Chains A and B, each alone.
Chain A
Amino acid sequence: RKEVEQDPGPFNVPEGATVAFNCTYSNSASQSFFWYRQDCRKEPKLLMSVYSSGNEDGRFTAQLNRASQYISLLIRDSKLSDSATYLCVAPGSGNTPLVFGKGTRLSVIA
């Protein structure tokens, strides 16, 4: 099983839609989880951390399910500017602190 797995998409959604991404991780001892956003030809940027109790930041909600070893990202009221690739991040095994998923591509269409 890969350390971090994401559906690559693309997810094509209309403006105003709600979209959810899931990501599974293999290291059951994982403590730190993040979602990053990467725009085309740019560097990954931190979108939000994921806390055990779940957390919300405006239109974005992140959830952690330890039993099933997945994290999710929910985007409500999608905007054109949300179009990007969303990378899931979880701790790796061995000496690897964090492992990045390959990303899920989102296109929000007018």
Chain B
Amino acid sequence: DAGVIQSPRHEVTEMGQEVTLRCKPISGHDYLFWYRQTMMRGLELLIYFNNNVPIDDSGMPEDRFSAKMPNASFSTLKIQPSEPRDSAVYFCASSLLAFYEQYFGPGTRLTVT
């Protein structure tokens, strides 16, 4: 049974470029979460969806960040324009219900130079 799939696994880009991260949740999971992890701040929730609808995006740092979930099996997190302080590991996770355990993808390691 496939787990959460993320792509790309690594992304190196220059400041000002657009970055798009992709996620496929576990089939049948109604909740999808986007997290950012850094040494300083730990794992931060950016946004989450329930049945493809964004529920809480209060963790999105600023307008440069946007996320979509066009269907139950695909979500994107976009950063435009990217900045060096966006460098982090971005994880996607999914769960059956809101307070159930979450299953994480392998993450995308983003470096913005």
Interface of A toward B, CB cutoff 8 Å: 31-32, 34, 42-46, 49, 87, 91-92, 94-103
Contact = CB atoms under 8 A, between A and B. Distances in A.
Nearest to A103: B42
Given A43-B104, A87-B43, A97-B95, 11 more contacts: A31-B99, A32-B100, A44-B43, A46-B101, A46-B103, A92-B45, A95-B56, A96-B56, A97-B98, A99-B45, A103-B42
A31 B101 CA distance: 12
Contacts of B102: 46, 98
A95 B58 contact: yes
B12 interface: no
Contacts of B35: 100
A10 to B, nearest CB: 13
Contact of A100 (B43, B48, B100, B105): B43
Nearest to B109: A41
Contacts of B98: 97
Chain B facing A: main interface SS = strand
Interface in B86-113: 91, 95, 98-107
Interface of A, helix, strand, loop or mixed by DSSP: loop
Contacts of A43: 91, 104-107
Contact of B45 (A32, A87, A96): A96
A91 B43 contact: no
Interface in B34-70: 35, 41-43, 45, 48, 55-56, 58
Nearest to B91: A43
Nearest to B57: A95
A96 B46 CA distance: 10
6 pairs of A and B residues whose beta carbons are closest in the complex? A102-B42, A95-B56, A43-B104, A97-B98, A32-B99, A100-B43
Contacts of B99: 31-32, 91, 97-98
Given A42-B106, A43-B106, A49 B101 contact: yes
A95 B46 CA distance: 12
A67 to B, nearest CB: 21
Contacts of B100: 32
